[in-house]
């Protein structure tokens, strides 16, 4: 199975400041169909996960534009341009290029 490794595992951030999370896969996530099935999900406390970004950089419906995704191959990044209070939670990268899919360990974003 593909192993997904996130850094950092915890990210204390000041309101209004940027935050960045890295995700590295143990092998390339480029599918034979040419797509890269790398997604980012947010899980707020006490809630189910929510899709933020799919196929590296596509924001899902209703996701604020302060969230952006980038990367290629095995290295990917989620950036929050200006952290707001509602962004507190755990963020997961996830690959669906090879089934079964796998998640990163999660990165906890909290306010300083």
Applying CB under 8 A, the residues found at the interface with other proteins are 1, 37, 39, 41, 43, 48-51, 54, 60, 90, 92, 94, 96, 99-106
CB of 28 within 8 A of CB of 35?
no
Least spacing, CB of residue 13 vs other proteins, in Å: 20
Spatial CA neighbour of 30 closest among 95, 104, 106, 101: 95
Spatial CA neighbour of 98 closest among 54, 36, 42: 36
Of residues 39 and 74, the one with the C-beta less far from other proteins:
39
Least spacing, CB of residue 61 vs other proteins, in Å: 8
Of residues 16 and 34, the one with the C-beta less far from other proteins:
34
Least spacing, CB of residue 48 vs other proteins, in Å: 4
Q: How many residues does the chain have?
A: 112
Residue 85: strand, helix, or coil? helix
């Amino acid at each position: 199975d593909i192993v997904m490794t996130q850094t950092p595992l915890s990210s204390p951030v000041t309101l209004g400041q940027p935050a960045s999370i890295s995700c590295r896969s143990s092998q390339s996530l480029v599918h034979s169909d040419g797509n890269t099935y790398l997604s980012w999900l947010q899980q707020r406390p006490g809630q189910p996960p929510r899709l933020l970004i799919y196929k590296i950089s596509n924001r899902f419906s209703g996701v604020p534009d302060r969230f952006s995704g980038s990367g290629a191959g095995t290295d990917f990044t989620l950036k929050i341009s200006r952290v707001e209070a509602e962004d507190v939670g755990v963020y997961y990268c996830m690959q669906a290029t090879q089934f079964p899919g796998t998640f990163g360990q999660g990165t906890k974003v909290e306010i300083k």
